[in-house]
Structure 1
């Protein structure tokens, strides 16, 4: 029903809205020069807590699928996200991240057989322009590794979103989120130690920042995100991610005392308009219609997973 879909969209939108606070927390509370540590402490504690809470482990093919999805949605994405956040101005990183809906559209056509409509492509391009107007500055410095990290993060997350839809998890969103966060965190652990060395003792601000990102920005946000991805199409979900730079800009205005320009106001309107257009279904069926029948997906046994 329409009311159920709107409710699902609203709850899913909470996740990218919360992620819009990441840049402010990272630059204001976390220690400098430790992006992999930030990614690790955001993912692994939250994942282990959810696994202990749900007391369910993957079964069969979901061991390696959880590892792949955890590497894409969590481990790889978090690492690239924090590298970009440390090396680039927030506006540049957010603009490159806004490419994600277009990547999802392309991957959905190839992996899910969904129809690529002019409406969705137009919404993606409009959203990209809107984010650029909202957050880019003329004096923004460009850093090669930071640019590659931001682009890589958009592509990695887009791949994870599409594969999460193709591989239907037999477990509830809370359980699936725990699997992926744990897998991604375990992949980040040796990388963080090898590249950045042992972690320093955090001060009060660092503990507050890491705690917020782990509990609110990760455990809560990703449960809502994966829940939405289970019920909605990848295109509908990924466009909600454009809310992150809008929230980040609003926080810069409210908290950091930054001034908003008319161009930023226009950018925000373009972003919100593209998001709204991407959610329209034009009276068609609930699911995106495939151009051709997609390859059959092996059935996943519905037996109960191993318990802890």
Structure 2
């Protein structure tokens, strides 16, 4: 999940019923939060790459109407950048999160994923000359402190370090993709950008997925989890997010970032009996607090 990385911040806010936006934000947070639980359920049977291939294919199919409607904007010269963004915003990070889901509770992946907001600012500063400002610099330090705390934790005696490293690497790729899409795909409607990058990412992943497809039959519950992950967590989730952008603008719609880790931990606790450890709680507070502080900065 990182649809915010493909958002253009100039999206206009449109009027709507006062109750609808909070409800849709909550539903989207619950939907994206469940993605980490669904990966936890299905990754052990599919393996990372087959799971990602199924997820990307189903998500892309949901978004095909958006791709078809904006096909004229997708000129030939854009496809190399679409492929790069697809790799950095979907193919590789989805695989890293699926790999981490085999080794750590769902909340670990969700908390690591929230770092993408801060990485977007960091990449913009180092590679594109955007100003960060003192408050956002402090927020970045707090966020990285949260990552260190999270990586130091253990669940059932097993270290979380490698799973956290995978999740944070995926979040960094989201940050790079955010800046590339903003600068090179800004003229393409956001929904079409999502559809095209997911489609290209699926094509990239399938050869590796087929090469690593599990020999044992995949249980029905894992197929169900993968299908829900692709259709709802990837396809419909993107559509909902872009609708919110149209009504609220990108900055206000990105509030969903705060909700995803909370829902991820809640779903995993409720349905998988996964604990919320003190280390996860402290790390989550540090990272989400750093995001809140950074978003208040005028820089």
TM-score, normalization: structure 2? 0.73
2:49 corresponding residue in structure 1: 36
Is the Cα–Cα contact under 8 Å of residues 123 and 278 in structure 1 kept in the other structure? yes
The alignment status of 1:113 with 2:126, answered yes or no, reads no
Which residue of 194, 207, 214 maps to 1:177? 194
Q: Could you tell me how far 1:42 is from its partner in structure 2?
A: 0.6
Partner of 2:262: 246
Residues 96, 150 of structure 1: 8 Å contact kept: yes
Among 74, 78, 91, the alignment partner of 2:90 is 74
Q: In the alignment, what sits opposite 2:291?
A: 275
Query: What is the deviation of 1:164?
Result: 1.4
1:167 aligns with 2:184: yes
Following superposition, the deviation at residue 50 of structure 1 comes to: 2.0
1:75, 1:187 within 8 Å by CA — same for their partners in 2?
Answer: yes
1:208 aligns with 224
Alpha carbons 1:133, 1:266 under 8 Å: kept: yes
Larger radius of gyration: 1
* Alignment gaps of 5+ in structure 1: 283-287, 289-308
Secondary structure at the aligned position of 2:39 is classed as helix
Q: Which moved more, 1:120-129 or 1:17-26?
A: 120-129
Show structure 2 runs of 5+ residues with no match: 1-9
Aligned residue pairs, count: 279
Cα RMSD for the two superposed structures:
4.0
Q: Kindly tell me: are residues 122 and 18 of structure 1, through their superposed partners in 2, closer, same or farther at Cα, counting changes over 3 Å?
A: farther
Q: Distance between the aligned counterparts of 2:238 and 2:130, measured in 1?
A: 25
2:143, 2:161 → 1: CA distance?
24
**In 1: Cα distance, 2:163 partner to 2:147 partner:** 18
1:54–1:74 CA distance, 2 compared to 1 (3 A): same
* Distance change >3 Å, CA 228–CA 110, structure 1 → 2: farther
Note closer, same or farther for the CA distance 1:223–1:133 as it changes in structure 2 (3 Å cut).
farther
CA distance in structure 1 between the partners assigned to 2:13 and 2:283 by the alignment: 29
Cα contact 1:130–1:267 (8 A) shared by 2: yes
In structure 2, C-alpha distance between the alignment counterparts of 1:131 and 1:144, rounded to whole Å: 10
Shift of 1:168: 3.4
In structure 2, distance between residues paired with 1:21 and 1:261: 19
User: How much does 1:108 deviate?
Assistant: 0.7
User: Equivalent of 2:173, from 146, 156, 174?
Assistant: 156
Going by fraction, where is helix more abundant, 1 or 2? 2
Question: How far apart, CA to CA, are the structure 2 residues paired with 1:266 and 1:149?
Answer: 20
The 1:264–1:49 alpha-carbon spacing in structure 2 relative to 1, beyond 3 Å, is: closer
> Which of 1 and 2 has higher RCO (CA within 8 Å, sep 6+)?
2
